[in-house]
Every structure is written in structure tokens, then in C-alpha cells.
Amino acid sequence: MMRRPLLVLAACLTGLTACSNTPQHAYSSETFDADTPYQYHSDLPPLVLCEYGKRALLSQGYEVDASSPQSIRGAKYFQPKADLQTQLKITLVCLPTGRDTTLFANALHTRYELKSSGSSTGLSVAGIGSVSVPWPTDKSTLVKVSEETVADPEFYRRLFVLIENLHE
């Protein structure tokens, strides 16, 4: 008789453990604070401020797409190891606020790893059956393993200081 309550207790504990391992959604920690590291205010007109932003990115080796004068996109590639490549994409948007201009910056960090894959060939022999034989191939491809918005206030502070220094 004592086994039944123990089984029920074990089932409840297992259920609670499964619930506690449920991943939290990333958006649940989003606070939408008014004071963020992603914006910079300036007295310059939007087109002029974005021009300085474009020059700042170019001065640091970013490949820049400036097809829209008030929205600048830059990308820079890094290869810290032979089997790892990272990419940093920055978007700058300059908008008038009525009394000044706000430059909004967003950086996206993407990481790629070199993954190798082999293949196998199936061989069917009458009377024995089929056998899978590994076939040596060297197929390596870059695979995206992570992507996240850069949230480091110091990163954006350094960018905004460079933009500010360019127009002085």
C-alpha cells in the first residue's frame, strides 16, 4: 500500500521538474525603457548626423550600404579562429525629434562555425542484406550558430563618441 503514495509523489516531483526546465521567452524580459544605450541626441540635422555616422563606420573598416541617407547599414567580418567567423552588422537611423535629431543605433552579432559532414553509401548484397559504408568526403560549410542584438552600453557609447568627434 505504501508504494502508491510514493509513486504519486514521484510523478508530482517529475512534473514540477519538467515545468521548472521550461525555457523563458526572450521577450518576457523586455522592459521598453525610455533610457536606452541605442540612441544619441544631436543638434545636427538628420542628414548631416547620418553622414558622420557613415564616416565613423567607414573609418573603422565597415562595409557600408548608404542607399538611404537617413538609414546607414554597415557590416564588418572577423575570423578569430580558422573554424569560426563572426559578423557585426550595425544599422544607424537618424530622425528629427522636433528640437534636435536622434540617432538610433542597433548592432547585430552573428556567429558562424565551420562544420564538416561526411556521407555514406548504401550497398545491397543479395542474400546478406544492405550495408552502409562510410564514404570519405570533406564537405565543410559555415553554419550560423548564434545571433543576438548587442546590448552593451559601452559599445554604443564608443560609437557615439567617435561620431561626435568627427563633427568637431
pLDDT digits (tens, 9 = 90+) for 64-73: 997 899 999 9
Using one digit for the tens of pLDDT, what is the confidence trace for 16-40?
A: 555 556 677 878 878 888 889 999 9
Determine phi and psi for 42, rounding to 5 degrees.
-145, 155
The answer to whether residue 122 sits within a structural domain is no
pLDDT at 168 (0 to 100): 77
The answer to whether residue 73 sits within a structural domain is yes
Q: How far is residue 133's CA from residue 120's CA, in Å, rounded to a whole number?
A: 5
The answer to whether residue 70 sits within a structural domain is yes
CB neighbour class for 155 (10 Å; exposed up to 12, middle 13-18, buried from 19): middle
pLDDT at 26 (0 to 100): 73
Using one digit for the tens of pLDDT, what is the confidence trace for 93-122?
A: 999 998 999 999 999 999 999 887 665 566
Half-sphere exposure of 165 (CA within 13 A, CB side): 9
Domain that holds residue 83: 36-114+142-166
Q: How far is residue 155's CA from residue 157's CA, in Å, rounded to a whole number?
A: 6
C-alpha distances (whole Å) from 46 to each of 27, 58, 83, 92, 98 are 31, 18, 41, 11, 11
The answer to whether 86 and 119 are in contact (CB under 8 A) is no
Residue 61 has pLDDT above 90, yes or no: yes
User: Which grid cell is 111?
Assistant: 556567429
The answer to whether residue 108 sits within a structural domain is yes
Helices and strands, number each (H, E), in the chain: 3, 6
User: How many angstroms from the chain centroid is the CA of residue 162?
Assistant: 23
Full-prediction pTM beyond 0.85? Answer: no
The answer to whether residue 98 sits within a structural domain is yes
Kindly state the greatest CA–CA separation across the chain. Answer: 85
User: Which grid cell is 25?
Assistant: 521567452
Structural domain count of the chain? 1
Mean pLDDT of the chain: 84
The answer to whether residue 133 sits within a structural domain is no
The answer to whether residue 152 sits within a structural domain is yes
The answer to whether residue 127 sits within a structural domain is no
CATH number of the domain within which 42 lies: 3.30.530.50
